[in-house]
Structure 1
Amino acid sequence: MENFLGIFDKFPFLSDNAKAGFLSNLEEVKFEKGELLEQKGKVSEYLYYFLTGSARSYYTRENRDITVSFTLDGEFVTAMHSFITRKPSYENIETLEKSIAYRISHDTLLNMFENHPETERAYRMILEEYYIVLEEQQIFSKFKSARERYLELMEYRPKVIQKASVGHIASYLDMSIETLSRIRAKI
């Protein structure tokens, strides 16, 4: 639990009362490799914080998985569109390894906003971070070469390379496995 308390470093403005309220509403969940946290067609009920482990978010198109993001320890994840709109999710989120996460339900989070208004600011900051990552990924995939995309992933998210399969990485970087293999061979 000590590692988990580091989450509050990102939100120094939270009162001790708000922190205690948040912690008391969290549920610890353990996942095996390949388990789905969120599933296409279902409404996302939880916001997860990964204590240990990793996950990937992906869509399926024409019987092909398209990886759109990775989650590592110390990061939040949910099927954000579904979590916010309360509509069925477009994406799946699966663990890449045994993982331990904490989750809070949508309804409980809304109650937290009522009882501890400063938690709404923390949630806004989580949403902003999520949006920035998505925007960077869009720019990343459209304006950089395959080699540049891989080198940036190596520099900024090296744990992804250690934890994800070659297929997942290639999909995330919007390239074929063969292209990724050629790039890796030249590095």
Structure 2
Amino acid sequence: MASLERILETFPNVSNEAVSAFESKFEPITFQKGELLEKEGQVSNHLYFIEEGAARSYYIREKRDITISFSLEGEFVTSMYSFVTRKPSYEFIECIEKSQCHRILHEDLQRLFLEFPEIEHTYRLILEKYYIALEEQLMFTKFKSAKDRYLELIENRPKIIQKASVGQIASYLDMSIETLSRVRSKI
């Protein structure tokens, strides 16, 4: 679990004892391409860390599959709304390739917060990063041209281009496959 340990080391003031306790609560799990980590309508009980692989979060509306985010190696993923509120999720989370993950139960994480306040602080920092990424995505899709959205994706998250399908990328960029094809042909 070296990658998870490296992520924790990037946060200030986390003791070795807290890191060890945190890691000990994570269970390794492998998902195949297309396998779901979370399902709409169910309460999210796990926070996942992607060691290798990639996942996407999406929801279905009016028979359309709408990708809202991608998670790559070295990132945490869950249906954050459901994980935090303990209410059913609005989204699905699917592996877009075979993925090696680690997961921790919500209850175990809560117990660690009580025992190691620095873990709770680190979790808050992770949530802040998550929120900022969500807000950037909102601004990204609402205020930039299709070309600018695609160029920014290439620049900031090129692995998504390699791992996701054209339909998933188009949905994530809030454009049709035809628009994405036109944008790509002009670059």
With the length of structure 1 as denominator, give the TM-score of the two structures.
0.98
Task: Summarize deviations over 1:72-98 as a string: whole Å, max 9, x none.
Answer: 000000000000000000000000000
Stretches of 4+ aligned residues off by more than 2 angstroms: 1-5
Equivalent position of 1:178 in the other structure: 178
Matched AA of 2:98: K
Equivalent position of 1:35 in the other structure: 35
| 1:35-114 correspondence to structure 2 within 5 Å | 35-114=35-114
Stretch of structure 1 that moved more, 30-39 or 9-18: 9-18
2:5–2:19 Cα contact (<8 Å) kept: no
Matched AA of 2:109: L
Secondary structure at the counterpart of residue 47 of structure 2? strand
Task: Summarize deviations over 1:76-131 as a string: whole Å, max 9, x none.
Answer: 00000000000000000000000001111100000000111110001001110110
Equivalent position of 1:155 in the other structure: 155
Root mean square deviation, CA, Å: 0.7
* In structure 1, C-alpha distance between the alignment counterparts of 2:113 and 2:4, rounded to whole Å: 21
Task: Check 1:137–1:79 CA distance in 2 against 1; reply closer, same or farther (3 A cut).
Answer: same
Is 1:21 matched with 2:21? yes
Q: Which 5+ residue runs of structure 2 have no aligned equivalent? A: none
Deviation at 1:9, TM superposition (A): 2.8
* In structure 2, C-alpha distance between the alignment counterparts of 1:12 and 1:20, rounded to whole Å: 15
Q: % of aligned pairs identical?
A: 61
Deviation at 1:13, TM superposition (A): 1.3
Equivalent position of 2:134 in the other structure: 134
Q: Which 5+ residue runs of structure 1 have no aligned equivalent? A: none
Query: What number of residue pairs does the alignment pair up?
Result: 187
With the length of structure 2 as denominator, give the TM-score of the two structures.
0.98
Matched AA of 2:37: L
